[in-house]
Structures are given as structure tokens and as C-alpha cells.
Amino acid sequence: MKKLAIFDLDGTLLNTVEDLGDATNYALRMCGGFPEYKTGDYYMMVGNGIYKLFERALPEEKRTKEMVAKMASFFLPYYDAHMCDKTVPYPGINEMIHEISSTGVKVALASNKYQAGCEKLIRHFFSDIPFVKVCGQREGFPLKPDPKLVEGIMEVAGTERKDVVYSGDSGVDMQTGANAKVDTVGVLWGFRSREELEKFSPWRIASSPIELKDWILE
């Protein structure tokens, strides 16, 4: 049995894509009426932090530091007010986290979402789960797939690599786990495809939270 389970957030624990898309579309409108996107378009745009999301959403000729900062100035207050409007845990996630936590497995979060957003969503949806650490995008810390977020969590939890499992829904997550040298599980209910996950040869690929739970507790 693993002693520490570290999870990605968007596309792994929570289906956040509609609220992220709505907030990005709002910022695009406010920044000059730029073309907006359908929800399905955002599956391939998220996962590398909000600033990369803004770059991908903006017209190519508008992808300047100034315009990205302007996008953030509209996105952040809007998303902060609406991030729980349509976001929900994936089916079976709450049961999975409660079961592994009840057995003594420590639970933590490593996400490229900005820190305040991570903390608010975890408080809202998982307030009764004792996360040992919630790590998001913060100034001075590299984004995934750099392993520092995962390694920092292991240090806080006092857990060795062999006792850790990291789970996520994207190639970035698979790279993160590989870079941190921990067992990594790709999940199929999120934003990306099996093909993307398999490119990075994860330890396992889970088709359901029940399957993920069984591998954490095996």
C-alpha cells in the first residue's frame, strides 16, 4: 500500500473545464472582443497554468506580455467568483479519496492552477479531507513537469519515493511523476487521451477512481 497519494486537480479530481472556459471567454471579450471558444476547445488549452492558457486563447498577433497581464486582470476576479458554478468532482472521486484517507494514506495536491484557486476549490469540495499539502502555481516555484512540487510534498509528508503515487490526466502529469521518480498513474476520465498518457509510459492507467483506489491500496 502506498503511504502518500498526490493528485493533479483539473481533469483529475474536478471537472473544471466549463468554468475555466467561461472565465477565459469573459476575459477575451473584455480585452477587445477577441474570438471565443467552445468548452470542448479548452480541453487541449488547459494544464500548463493560466498564463499559458491566455497565450493559447489569444490571437497569435496579440500574445504579448502586456495582453496576457490584461487577460489575467479580468480572468482572476471573474473566475474567483464563478469557479464553483459548473465545476464538480468526477463520479467516484469523493468516495475514493475518503476510502484511501480512512486507511491512513496521506493525500496531497500538486497542480499548475494558481495557488489561491487550488485552495478555494479544495476547501469547497473536499473540506473534510485532511490534505497534508496543497501546492499550486506560486511565484518562485516552477510549474509541472518540473518535479519540485511533488518533491516538496514528499518532504513535508516525510515519505520516501517508493511509497508515493502521483495521479494526473495529461502528458505533463506523466512527465512530472517520471521526473520525480515516483509511480505515476494516468487517469482516463479527464481532459486528455489515453494515447497522450501512454507516450510517457506511466506505471498504470486507470479507467475509474475505483481502479485508482485499488492500485493505491494494493
Domain stops at, among 35, 60, 82: 82
For 109-127, what is the mean pLDDT?
97
pLDDT digits (tens, 9 = 90+) for 127-139: 999 999 999 999 8
User: Which CATH number fits the domain that encloses residue 62?
Assistant: 1.10.150
The reply to whether 25 and 93 lie within a common domain is no
Q: Are residues 41 and 9 in the same domain?
A: no
**Same domain? 40 vs 130:** no
Q: What confidence category does residue 214 fall into, taking pLDDT thresholds of 50, 70 and 90?
A: very high
Please give the tally of structural domains in the chain.
2
- Cβ proximity of 186 and 33 under 8 Å: no
Measured CA to CA, the distance from residue 198 to residue 144 in angstroms comes to 18
**22 shares its domain with 11:** no
Closest alpha carbon to 153 in 207, 144, 59: 144
Could you tell me the pLDDT band of residue 206, with boundaries at 50, 70 and 90?
A: very high
Model pLDDT, residue 159:
97
119 and 42 in one domain? no
The residues that bridge with 89 in the sheet, in sequence order, are 14
* pLDDT tens digits, 25-38: 999 999 989 999 99
194-206 average pLDDT score: 97
pLDDT average, residue stretch 167-187:
98
Q: Are 156 and 185 within one domain?
A: yes
Domain containing residue 104: CATH number = 3.40.50.1000
Per-residue confidence (pLDDT) for residue 85, from 0 to 100: 98
For residue 187, the model assigns a pLDDT of: 98
* pTM for the structure as a whole: 0.95
95 plus 161 within the same structural domain: yes
Mean pLDDT, residues 46-69 taken together: 95
What is the predicted pLDDT for the residue at 193? 96
Is the domain of 106 the same as that of 121? yes
- Structural domain of 30: 17-82
Residue 13 has pLDDT above 90, yes or no: yes
Domain boundary pick from 82, 114, 129: 82
Say how far apart CA 68 and CA 31 lie, in whole Å.
Answer: 10
Name the grid cell of 92.
467516484
pLDDT at 140: 87
> How would residue 87 be classed by pLDDT, with cut points 50, 70 and 90?
very high
Per-residue pLDDT tens over the stretch 60-74: 999 999 999 999 999
Mean of the per-residue pLDDT values of the chain: 97
Instruction: Report how far residue 207's alpha carbon sits from residue 128's, in angstroms, rounded to the nearest whole number.
Output: 25
